[in-house]
């Protein structure tokens, strides 16, 4: 009884949903390897993965070791020691300290706690700057169905690495800036989740990534700061999976009617903002998945019950409730449609593509003066064991047309905390990414990559027909205002699962009239930047 009460107490203080941090790139890349080799079946379009799913995949791969090379088998053994304990256990009791983590497990309760520590240092001819972070994370299970997680990271940056205007892929958050150009922020993540044989339901405070990619998604990229969401997932048969979430976003739009004074200063109240999204994934044949889904951003009232119905087409819900009158309709809504295709039908080759549709008027789609084709398209592939074992080639291309992710109502854009939730370059942009990676050992990873990015004008947008800002007929990249070319060399060493030492060298060339806006100060112009660091936890 005391064990059960202790477990329930932990569940009450855990404020967020059960998943593994998206920054755990090594584990995610390894699971992708397993899927490419044919050792596991994996829907890689929806991340983060739950810890239970990770454990199940590792067990599944253990039954197909003949498909794995020696290095992959070694990696499988290392990860299995940490994650397979998440599966229902037998009649035993254990409590031990494993390197930097404490694990307790009996027939009812699993508790896994570990510290989070890290430091990263950059230096180039503009100067040097750093990021440091610390905290802790816990994961637990009660019985076979109930699980929870919670983590806290306190972070400091000597120079602020992210801003809604910076076009990079550093982890974002809500800052408390200081006078030196740096800042501090806390990041809380976690979950409570109930799962059964074919599905799960829970609440989460986390980042969310939808759409296959290796260098920044164009549906939900996972780059925006963490936000709370209710989640539902089910896979009732082998050929179908469904994912749904309803999220509470941060609008950063002040509700002027609700400003009030506390006697010395004004208290600002932000407009509410929400998102409902779903994704239907079908597997018509082995190792081929087709996903289609939609989302809606809405505001101006309390959460709407209609958007808690997981399976609906939300643009039609908006029109059913509100008709076609009122600017942006009654709730200031903005809907999106997305498609993702993933094929692993050729062993060691993953081909994929994703389409994000913000708006398309089919009648004018091919009229260059009237079209409103607000969409983003990504296509790419990864070849594993290229020519020799443990060599990986990845290529990815993304184009995003003008006004994609944006909206003429400020509370309805595809953003949270002012950070775009889609592709990190935003609208009117394109990117080519190519990388060559090598894993000679289970503990060593090295990569060289090339990224070429371009961004054009962010056109004014009012949505009013007959005006210059109507959004109709806008040319794609007619003028490049920012251009970036980055060559990166990176290497990581993982002495134990959950700890890394890393180093990198980046040759960057950023130019254009918008470079002071879109590039972090230490990366403007031509730079050769050295990075070194280490971390425990994610």
- Predicted pLDDT of residue 448: 98
Prior bond of 279 cis (ω within 30°) = no
Q: What pLDDT, on the 0 to 100 scale, is given for residue 99?
A: 67
Tokens 């371009």 identify what position? 454
- What pLDDT is attached to residue 14? 33
pLDDT at residue 22, as a whole number: 58
Low-confidence ranges of the chain (pLDDT < 50): 1-19, 91, 328
- What distance in Å separates the CA atoms of residue 411 and residue 426, rounded to the nearest whole number? 17
Distance CA 439, CA 101 (A): 26
The fold adopted by the segment(s) 2-536 is: Porin (2.40.160)
Rg of the chain in Å (alpha carbons): 23
CA distance 270 to 210: 27
pLDDT in tens, 310-337: 999 999 898 888 766 555 455 568 999 9
310 in Cβ contact with 244 (< 8 Å)? yes
Token digits of residue 504: 């990198």
The CA-CA-CA angle for residues 200, 339, 47, to 5°, reads: 40
- Angle 341-221-459 (CA atoms, 0-180°, nearest 5)? 100
State residue 232's pLDDT score: 98
Full DSSP string of 273-340: EEEEEEEEEEEEETTEEEEEEEEEEEESSSPPGGGGSTT--HHHHHHHHHTT-STTTTTT-EEEEEEE
Angstrom distances, CA of residue 221 to CA of 145, 352, 414, 467, 487? 29, 15, 11, 32, 22
Please give the model's pTM, rounded to 2 decimal places. Answer: 0.91
List the domain boundaries for the chain: 2-536
Which tokens in the block code for residue 154?
């306190």
Instruction: Report pLDDT for 325.
Output: 56
In whole angstroms, what is the distance from residue 337 CA to residue 422 CA?
A: 12
Separation in Å, CA 24 to CA 88, 136, 359? 24, 15, 34
pLDDT at 372: 86
To the nearest 5 percent, what fractions of the chain are helix, strand and coil?
A: 15, 45, 35
> What does the pLDDT read at residue 13?
33
Query: Using alpha carbons only, what angle is made at residue 519 by residues 534 and 167, rounded to the nearest 5 degrees?
Result: 80
Could you write out the DSSP letters of every residue in 453-506?
Answer: EEE---------TTSTTS--SPPSSSS-SEEEEEEEEEEEE-SSTTEEEEEEEE
Do you know the residue count of the chain? 538
DSSP H or E stretch at residue 150: strand 146-157
Helix (H, G, I), strand (E, B) or coil at 69: coil
């Amino acid at each position: 009884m005391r064990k059960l009460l202790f477990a329930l107490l932990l569940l009450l203080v855990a404020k967020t949903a059960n998943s593994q941090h998206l920054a755990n790139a090594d584990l995610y890349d390894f699971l992708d390897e397993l899927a490419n080799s044919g050792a596991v079946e994996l829907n890689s379009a929806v991340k983060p993965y739950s810890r239970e799913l990770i454990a199940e995949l590792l067990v599944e791969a253990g039954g197909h070791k003949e498909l794995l090379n020696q290095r992959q088998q070694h990696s499988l053994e290392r990860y299995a020691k940490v994650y397979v304990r998440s599966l229902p256990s037998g009649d035993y009791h254990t409590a031990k300290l494993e390197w930097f983590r404490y694990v307790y497990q009996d027939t009812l309760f699993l508790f896994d706690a570990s510290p989070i520590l890290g430091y990263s240092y950059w230096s180039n001819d503009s100067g040097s700057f750093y990021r440091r972070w610390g905290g802790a994370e816990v994961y637990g299970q009660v019985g076979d169905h109930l699980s929870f997680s919670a983590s806290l990271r306190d972070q400091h940056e000597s120079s602020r690495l992210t801003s809604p205007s910076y076009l990079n892929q550093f982890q974002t958050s809500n800052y408390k800036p200081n006078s030196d150009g740096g800042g501090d922020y806390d990041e809380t993540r976690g979950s409570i989740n109930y799962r059964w044989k074919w599905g799960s339901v829970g609440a989460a405070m986390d980042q969310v990534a939808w759409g296959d990619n290796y260098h920044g998604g164009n549906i939900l990229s996972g780059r925006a700061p963490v936000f709370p969401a209710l989640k539902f997932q089910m896979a009732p048969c082998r050929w179908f999976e469904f994912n749904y979430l309803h999220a509470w976003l941060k609008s950063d739009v002040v509700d002027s009617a609700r400003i009030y004074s506390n006697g010395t200063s004004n208290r600002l109240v932000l407009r509410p903002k929400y998102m409902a999204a779903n994704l239907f994934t079908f597997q018509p044949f082995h190792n081929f998945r087709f996903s289609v889904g939609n989302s809606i951003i809405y505001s101006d009232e309390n959460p709407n019950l209609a958007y808690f119905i997981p399976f609906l087409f939300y643009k039609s819900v908006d029109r059913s409730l509100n008709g076609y009158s009122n600017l942006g309709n009654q709730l200031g809504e903005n809907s999106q449609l997305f498609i993702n295709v993933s094929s692993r039908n050729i062993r060691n080759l993953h081909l994929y593509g994703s389409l994000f549709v913000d708006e398309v008027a089919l009648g004018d789609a091919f009229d260059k003066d009237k079209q409103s084709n607000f969409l983003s398209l990504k296509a790419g592939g990864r070849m594993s064991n290229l020519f020799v074992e443990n060599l990986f080639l990845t290529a990815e291309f993304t184009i995003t047309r003008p006004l994609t992710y944006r909206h003429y109502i400020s509370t309805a854009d595809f953003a949270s905390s002012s950070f775009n939730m889609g592709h990190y370059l935003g609208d009117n942009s394109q990117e080519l990414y190519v990388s060559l990676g090598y894993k000679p050992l289970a503990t060593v990873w090295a990569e060289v990559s090339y990224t070429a990015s371009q961004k054009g004008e962010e056109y004014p947008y009012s949505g009013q027909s007959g005006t210059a800002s109507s959004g109709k007929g806008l040319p794609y990249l007619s003028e490049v205002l920012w251009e970036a070319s980055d060559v990166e060399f990176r290497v990581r060493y993982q002495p134990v699962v959950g700890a890394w030492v890393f180093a990198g060298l980046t040759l960057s060339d950023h130019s254009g009239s918008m470079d002071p806006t879109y590039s972090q100060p230490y990366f403007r112009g031509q730079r050769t930047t050295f990075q070194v660091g280490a971390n425990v936890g994610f």
